[in-house]
Structure 1
């Protein structure tokens, strides 16, 4: 079955969309560059020209999905008004809720149990690019507020927030609301201590 391109969609975006759809339906282990090419209606060489190999495709797929999550973070900070703790709370809540609803993320996590997966490590043990990108977006959001933190304190705080949210996206221990409330409480306590 050939998946028709969406209006204005470039080849890379199209291949990522098709790869995500296939991963959700069949699991990452079933994806090959040849099957992706067939499903997208392009040559296998076109897929290799865009991504090079399957691990690079995996990295691109994770980073593309990350942009969806980080869009929620940016929106929360833009709506945050003059309350940085509320913005942090709302950003965490939006990401945690999306994590529960996101079918690709759910497949990555569920598909990794008892199987060799190239995707889950990109969220955890090999997630440096993901973490760096997420921390930069959160840092940019926090810097929009006049906070009594030096850069070292800000970097530590953002690192803790991002890693905590990611941990709860992958393995929730409570509802998104409970977790976001806890993150906001910690952020508020840290800001009060810094004053």
Structure 2
């Protein structure tokens, strides 16, 4: 028995923190979404991730560093969904808007942590508010830049400052629906796409919501 314990300790000492990091962060997200950040301890996290407690510390450092890693990871997934929506429709702006909005809302629907991150952009109180407030402001700016970058690929009949204004409205409206959705992701995407089409004066605008 002593030999088994010794082997386990040696193995734990040589666990690669880099290869374990993503698994640990994913476990932290699961625990936070299930029970709240206050219930996430390094010991419980190690058990959930299937690694030693020392590996948790080696991979992510402090609890604050772990929280930052979670926020960055979930935010990156959110931004990627937006980019994918436009990239899947490089020749059709309205389809790109619809996919970007619908995909991100569907992704956020079952992700309490992501909703908390976005809620902080509107001053909502959350367990991670001190961390989220700063990062969520950065997230809002990042989302706008990603949408602006994608929008530059289309022929849009507006001046640059007008396009920026439309992007600001669409992004803020979409993020508000992440926090408090008023309909299904598809229905919200329909409404926002219709709004963009009306602003742009496009004849191929989808049917008005509720029509």
Range of TM-score over shorter length:
0.7 to 0.9
CA gap 1:132/1:51 in 2 versus in 1, 3 angstroms: farther
Total equivalences in the alignment: 179
- Show the counterpart of 1:97: 106
Alignment counterpart, residue 15 of structure 1, candidates 6, 21, 24: 24
In structure 2, the gaps of 5 or more residues are: 1-16, 119-124, 203-211
Name the residue aligned to 1:129: 138
Matched, 1:41 2:55: no
Q: Distance in 2 between matches of 1:132 and 1:59?
A: 18
Give the secondary structure class of the aligned counterpart of 2:151. Answer: helix
Q: Which position in structure 2 is the counterpart of 1:174?
A: 183
**1:43-65 residue CA offsets vs partner (Å, 9 max, x unmatched):** 26425xx45542x4333312211
- Tell me the CA shift for residue 9 of structure 1: 6.1
What is the rounded CA distance, in whole Å, between the counterparts of 2:76 and 2:190 in structure 1? 24
> Scaled by the length of structure 2, what TM-score is found?
0.69
1:144 lines up with 2:144 in the alignment: no
Q: Deviations over 1:116-152 (max 9, x none)?
A: 5116972x78611111121122112211112223332
Q: For the residues of structure 1 that align with 2:149 and 2:175, how far apart are their CA atoms?
A: 18
Match of 1:118 among 110, 124, 128: 128
Are 2:80 and 1:71 equivalent residues in the alignment? yes
Inter-partner Cα distance in structure 2 for 1:126 and 1:32: 22
Cα distance in 2 for residues equivalent to 1:129 and 1:97: 22
Q: Give the Cα–Cα distance (whole angstroms) in 1 for the partners of residues 101 and 166 of structure 2.
A: 14
Identify if the C-alpha distance between structure 1 residues 95 and 128 changes in structure 2 by more than 3 Å, giving closer, same or farther.
same
Instruction: Report the Cα distance in structure 1 between the residues aligned to 2:108 and 2:126, rounded to whole angstroms.
Output: 22
Q: Give me the whole-angstrom Cα distance separating, in 1, the residues matched to 2:110 and 2:91.
A: 29
Unmatched 5+ stretches in structure 1: 1-7, 110-114
C-alpha distance in 1, partners of 2:156/2:116?
A: 39
Contact 1:66/1:130, CA 8 A, preserved across alignment: yes
Question: Which TM-score applies when normalising by structure 1?
Answer: 0.74
- SS where residue 182 of structure 1 aligns? helix
